[in-house]
Amino acid sequence: MVVIPLVIHNQYLCHWVDSGLKGRKIKAQTRIPFGKDAQMNPHYSVLIRLSFEEIEELTDGFASPLGRSVFRGTLPNKIPIVAKVLHDVVVSEKDFRVAVSTLRGTHHRNLVSVKGFCFEPRHKILLYEYVPNGSLDKWLSNSEHGQQEQILQKRLDIALGVARALAYLHSECQQCITHGNLSLENVLLDENLAPKLTDFGLQGLLIKKAASSSESPSERDIYMLGQMFVQIVTCKREFAGDNVQQILNHVYQESKFMTSDSLKMMERIARIAFWCMQSKTFLRPSIGEVVKVLEGTLSVDRPPSFGLPQRHDSIIESEVVTEIEVE
């Protein structure tokens, strides 16, 4: 076993644990350095490298799929993990290691942590922490959640957690990390239903795609965030409305428990969602503004309906407010 120390972001010490080709027949239980420290310290920064055969063993032959190319596994110390099989990744081992180090160097309560990787000519796999309550799309589609007051508040909390995670990736890392694939499936919920973003950074760091001339990767993230917010408000993957009022009418008609405060809460999310989805990128808010609107410290004007040209010099009012006035 070869151990090479590396210093990564936030000055956390990370070790590449390379099992190598020798001794591949040795059982994974004797080779994976996850012990008491890893169980007690959530910021334990040993990044493990495993062979494909070892990951195959940990996942029991990829027998428990959680989604497309995503499988549940268990480390020898009984800690559950998730193995994500990467496709269309054509990079050198050096570039792959740099990318994984960058992802491992992120530490935020609303991000899923990267635990390890596999790099072989035919197999590239990332290991993530396991998040117990599944993905946001399944939670929203569960009819038993309904529109109770506490559930509406939880939806706002989830939207805010996702926005904070994206703000961290865009603004607080040593380099801007764009998500590239924001979706309900890539938001996982922990035991307290707190959101954790997964699958972040792969589009920019590992899977190279032609850049759009009309918007930057971070601007694209903002647009996809707006789409997700509409889905959170309506609990529907597709919604035909093209303005805030149509969304609010839909929510109000479906709810038996909607109060004035709940309506204001939903309007806050819907308004910023439509600003995020403006076709003119200069009209979209920054991720920092999105967070402040959801926190209730910035108010936001009603956005123009899609397809209707309307001049708007500033979408965010600078005054501190405690609630959004419903017009």
Q: How many residues does the chain have?
A: 327
Query: What does pTM read for this prediction?
Result: 0.79
Q: Are 128 and 81 in contact (CB under 8 A)?
A: yes
Query: Which parts of the chain sit beneath pLDDT 70?
Result: 1-45, 143-148, 207-213, 240, 254-257, 306-327
What is residue 211's predicted lDDT score, i.e. its pLDDT?
Answer: 56
What is residue 141's predicted lDDT score, i.e. its pLDDT?
Answer: 85
Q: What is the DSSP letter of 94?
A: H
Q: Are 310 and 304 in contact (CB under 8 A)?
A: yes
Q: Which CATH architecture has domain 2-129?
A: 2-Layer Sandwich (3.30)
DSSP helix/strand/coil, 207: coil
Dump the DSSP string for 174-197.
SS----S---GGGEEE-TT--EEE
What is residue 210's predicted lDDT score, i.e. its pLDDT?
Answer: 56
Dump pLDDT digits (tens) for 115-142: 999 999 999 999 999 999 999 999 998 7
What is residue 40's predicted lDDT score, i.e. its pLDDT?
Answer: 39
Question: How much of the chain exceeds pLDDT 70, in percent?
Answer: 73
Domain ranges of the chain: 2-129, 136-317
Q: How far apart are alpha carbons 191 and 189 in whole angstroms? A: 7
Dump pLDDT digits (tens) for 270-289: 999 999 999 999 999 999 99
CATH superfamily assigned to domain 136-317: Transferase(Phosphotransferase) domain 1 (1.10.510.10)
105-132: b or e for each residue (b if 16 or more CB lie within 10 Å)?
bbebebbbbbbbbbbeeeebbbbbbbbe
Q: Match 């268990």 to its residue by tokens.
A: 74
Q: How far apart are alpha carbons 174 and 105 in whole angstroms? A: 10
Q: What is the DSSP letter of 11?
A: G
Q: What is the DSSP letter of 304?
A: P
What is residue 161's predicted lDDT score, i.e. its pLDDT?
Answer: 98
Strands (E), the chain: 2-7, 13-18, 46-49, 65-67, 70-74, 80-85, 114-120, 123-129, 187-189, 195-197, 299-300, 316-317
